[in-house]
Structure 1
Amino acid sequence: MADAFSSSSEIAIHRQVDLQNKRSIPLEKLDEFYQIEKTCDFVRQNNFKKVALQFPDELLHDSTAVAAEIERITQAKLFILADTSYGSCCVDEVAAEHVGADCLVHYGRACLSPSKRLPLMYVFEIASIDVDKCNSAFREMHTDPEAHILILYDVRYAHAIDNLASLLCEDYPNVVCSQLVVEGEHCYSHGRRKKESDEDQDEPRIHFGRQLSLKSGLSIEDYHMFYVGQDGATLRNFMMTWNRCSFSSFDPETSTGGTESAGINRVLMKRFYAIERAKDANVVGILVGTLGVANYLAIIRQLKDAIRSAGKKSYVFAMGKLNVPKLANFLEIDIFVLISCPENLLLDSSEFYRPVITPFEMEVACNRNREWSTQYVTDFRHLLPGGKDYVPLPKELKECDETDVSLITGAMRSYKLDCDPEESSNSSSLVLRNPTLTVANTNSAASFLANRSWRGLEEKLGETPVRKAVEGRKGIAIAYEEEGG
């Protein structure tokens, strides 16, 4: 096996991974848990020679054994990828391309966001669940047998949903189970097979990698949601997207069920406050939180156009996993907008110096045609042309120069500078705003930098004497060769 991040046999990168309380799968059960036979079929049928295996940290303890078995059966060259630059639920196609992999196998929890660069196979972790207790918890929380209920679940429990549905179908005829669907022409579909829709069901729709076959004439707001899994990013994403539906859940780890009361209205008001902050902002930082989700470049271009049309400046940042110190380096940025998969999008930015919002919220702030409502969009692909939530920018830009009052500062603000987007992007210094706002400086980041006490290394062009190059130090910082013992 090859190390995907080693360029020399003399170089080794050591990183401590917390594996406490992590079970190790017995060798005789590796095939069942990691679907080794299906993975080998995927590799051999497509004649792949280099295969990248992406493991989350909690499954790394089995990675070498899984890779060795696949390599023994297929004779392919295996690379183990771990510690992705972004969330482990996303496919790290960039790391796979660095080693020249022909395909990628993703293990563990997945957001199922579509990817298009490499052929892809998902292997979901098979987590234990007591189906009988789940059935009992469902019946305790849903006493009306005629209620329309949609069952959602974490991908780790997909193996048990058919058994749960069979226990409920006789007493609850209106229960609908979502089915995992891997989108993308290069993806290898190996999970639960799609079932033909009943005659009384509408055309199936796909949300977040799940196919929903609803009863004819009903919308998703007519359903109660029952979620199987732990409280986390997946459940929060569902609750924000379908915020007009009631939610209940069953936690397989504790075998307990309950009604979810996350205070969605309170959360939505906090998001609305972030939109007001975005309207007040002059400089926007676009954070690239994924390099694998399809169409991420398209949403960046669309956001830049929307931000420019609102008379704001934008800068694009690619910095991997986000933390407070990283973003604190850019105090000239008034607000950040994060481009990522739906499950990593709803970031709690309370500790950050500047708010971090979603593409949907940025569009509400900048696109006058888009209005704030209870409808919330976490999948940025739906905001693109052709998406179900796409709203174009106003065509008559010069007629959109209107003012309103900030709900935070109470100051007047303008939606649009009195110039075309192309002109505003090339313009510096001063431009004329609405007469009520007199004059504004559009180069906010540059002026902020000019006022800093330290502005980076001084170039001193023409002032530095020319010197002959000399041989530098050799070795590593702890012991250079010329320093001796």
Structure 2
Amino acid sequence: MMEGTSAFYTGSEEAIKRQVSAVGLQTEESQIDDVYEIQHCVDWIKQAGFKRVALQFPDDLMQDAVSVTTRLEAMVPSTCKVFILGDTSYGSCCVDEVAAQHYNADAMIHYGRSCLSQPVKMSVLFVYGRLPLDVDNCVHQFSILYPDTSSHVVIVYDTVYAYACDEIKNRLRCKYENCVMSMLKTRDTNVDLPGDLTVITKCGRTLGLPAGKTLSDYTMFYIGSESLTLSNLIYNFQSNQFFSYNPSTREGRRENVNVNKILMKRYFMIEKAKDARIVGILVGTLGVANYTAILNRLKVLIEKAGKKSYVFIVGKINVAKLANFMEIDVFVVIACAENTLLDSSEFYKPVITPYEMELACNTEREWTGEYPTDFNQLLHDGSHHQAIPDTVHHEEGDVSLVTGKIRTLGYQDNNVETGTAVVLRSDAMTVATQADSAGEYLSMRSWQGLEQKLGETPVTMAVEGQKGIAMGYSDEPS
């Protein structure tokens, strides 16, 4: 057993993938049927009668895409077309329904890791795959971490190890009576739990706790490598002690993450959001259910807080893209629960979550210590919903902990007080403030992006261009 401080990941998914030793290795042909559940996929397609099925693979499984597609094409009806999606618009853990719709797909099969976000518009089958896991070693490490057999433990796991969890549960059940195995919501929705259990759903996982027990009575045991999944679980189960087993290193340890320190860093960004006058709303997903609902809620919330908002759809988010919008004070990203926790230290401006924006702008919301990362929890039927007040009075001001200046929320009155005189605000007399200058900032740029300018560009005859390569075109002297 190894004890130590876990790296707390809020960075890119690609950086985390590089740490998994099994990534990038092509699956043996003899194992393709089992790993990718070919027969299950074929039965699903035949039962529903799908005609066009898109297959989505993450980058680390793309080397198996041709083999999987070939197997499926040989087994599905001839009237069914199976094809591979090349690249995903956003995170590979999310279902890329937009790309599938571009090719008129009526269903999708999502392979590999999943953030367990619910799809919106089409039927989706999740096939998580199977990364290597030594069940004997996992059970052994569990017994070392929990020498007391009466311990109350909830087992959670990365989706790529779901195939082994029933066996692990059976091996532990005879010795640890108070051990609870979580179930993945997308795969186990139809599983019936006994009526005497308290059902809790978090992070796409369903837990059935005995009557009279709460989550605070349990510690968490996570099966998987350090990843965005682990970070997301720690955020949402921060009151619980975490232990983990890494199948790649075959080691178990206690997660000594300083959650309070991490939350203080996030709270600093909330203070920056309170100071912000111009907010950029980043649409980081088009496949998670209710993303339009949270977008509309954020626009209303930001407007009532007296701020201006602009919506950006930039595909996969990176530093270079956001650096083009220096007039934006803070960005709030709408993405799945795992990809919403970006490390803002890499960006020029803070990038926060919808919940953090709510804490900054909604005067009716107080921080209870919980930290939901799934934006669906903020909506009307969510467990962390808080109504937006009809009006936010700007008199309810406070002092910024960042700048030390007094700040206010809400609309400003039409009368502006200057010294002892009250002057009526008018367009002619108003000096443009930062919140009103984003449009002017764009108009003053030397380059404003690609513009069609239909009817403004003169029509000219096409001419033959240069031939050859950049280091030496055919019309250049040798």
Q: So what's the TM-score if we normalise by structure 2?
A: 0.85
1:289-328 pair list within 5 angstroms? 289-328=284-323
Give the partner amino acid of 1:471: A
Q: Which residue is 1:175 aligned to? A: 179
Distance 1:112 1:84 in 2: 16
Distance 1:360 1:346 in 2: 11
Give the partner amino acid of 1:49: K
Shift of 1:72: 1.4
- Closer/same/farther in 2, CA of residues 20 and 252 from structure 1, 3 Å limit: closer
Give the partner amino acid of 1:45: Q
- Closer/same/farther in 2, CA of residues 212 and 431 from structure 1, 3 Å limit: farther
**Residue of 255, 259, 275 corresponding to 1:260:** 255
Shift of 1:284: 0.4
Structure 1 stretches lacking a partner, 5+ long: 1-17, 183-190, 421-426, 433-437
Q: So what's the TM-score if we normalise by structure 1?
A: 0.84
Q: Which residue is 2:202 aligned to? A: 207
Give the partner amino acid of 2:446: W
Shift of 1:69: 1.4
Other structure's SS at 2:346 match: coil
Q: Which residue is 2:74 aligned to? A: 72
Distance 1:382 1:194 in 2: 22
Higher mean displacement: 134-143 or 401-410: 134-143
* 1:331 counterpart = 2:326: yes
Give the partner amino acid of 1:219: T
Give the partner amino acid of 1:197: L
User: CA-to-partner distance for each residue in 1:15-68, whole Å, 9 max, x for gaps?
Assistant: xxx999732222222111111111111111111111100011111111111111
* 1:120 counterpart = 2:124: yes
Q: Which residue is 2:245 aligned to? A: 250
Q: Which residue is 1:186 aligned to? A: none
Distance 1:350 1:457 in 2: 27
**Residue of 399, 404, 418 corresponding to 1:410:** 404
Shift of 1:448: 3.6
Distance 2:412 2:397 in 1: 12
Check conservation: 1:154, 1:234, Cα contact below 8 A: yes
**Residue of 447, 461, 464 corresponding to 1:470:** 461
1:263-412 pair list within 5 angstroms? 263-395=258-390, 397=391, 399=393, 401-412=395-406
1:147-166 pair list within 5 angstroms? 147-166=151-170
- Closer/same/farther in 2, CA of residues 173 and 198 from structure 1, 3 Å limit: farther
Higher mean displacement: 118-127 or 468-477: 468-477
Other structure's SS at 2:239 match: coil
Distance 2:223 2:82 in 1: 34
Give the partner amino acid of 2:221: F
Give the partner amino acid of 2:25: R
Give the partner amino acid of 2:120: K
Q: Which residue is 1:62 aligned to? A: 64
The percentage of counterpart residues that share the same residue type is: 43
**Residue of 435, 439, 454 corresponding to 2:446:** 454
Q: Which residue is 1:228 aligned to? A: 223
Q: Which residue is 1:197 aligned to? A: 193
Higher relative contact order (CA 8 A, sep 6+): 2
Check conservation: 1:430, 1:442, Cα contact below 8 A: no
- Closer/same/farther in 2, CA of residues 428 and 305 from structure 1, 3 Å limit: farther
- Closer/same/farther in 2, CA of residues 89 and 428 from structure 1, 3 Å limit: farther
User: CA-to-partner distance for each residue in 1:373-394, whole Å, 9 max, x for gaps?
Assistant: 3110100001011111110112
Q: Which residue is 1:4 aligned to? A: none
Q: Which residue is 2:51 aligned to? A: 49
Shift of 1:398: 5.5
| Aligned positions, number | 441
1:83-102 pair list within 5 angstroms? 83-102=87-106
Shift of 1:258: 0.1
Give the partner amino acid of 1:58: D
Check conservation: 2:201, 2:207, Cα contact below 8 A: yes
Give the partner amino acid of 2:197: Q
User: CA-to-partner distance for each residue in 1:257-311, whole Å, 9 max, x for gaps?
Assistant: 0000121111000000000000000000000000000100110000011111110
Check conservation: 2:193, 2:208, Cα contact below 8 A: yes
- Closer/same/farther in 2, CA of residues 361 and 417 from structure 1, 3 Å limit: same
Distance 1:42 1:109 in 2: 20
- Closer/same/farther in 2, CA of residues 473 and 283 from structure 1, 3 Å limit: farther
Check conservation: 1:179, 1:194, Cα contact below 8 A: no
Q: Which residue is 2:418 aligned to? A: none
Check conservation: 1:205, 1:211, Cα contact below 8 A: yes
Shift of 1:114: 0.4
Shift of 1:399: 4.2
Give the partner amino acid of 1:27: E
Distance 1:115 1:124 in 2: 15
- Closer/same/farther in 2, CA of residues 180 and 441 from structure 1, 3 Å limit: closer
Structure 2 stretches lacking a partner, 5+ long: 1-17, 415-424
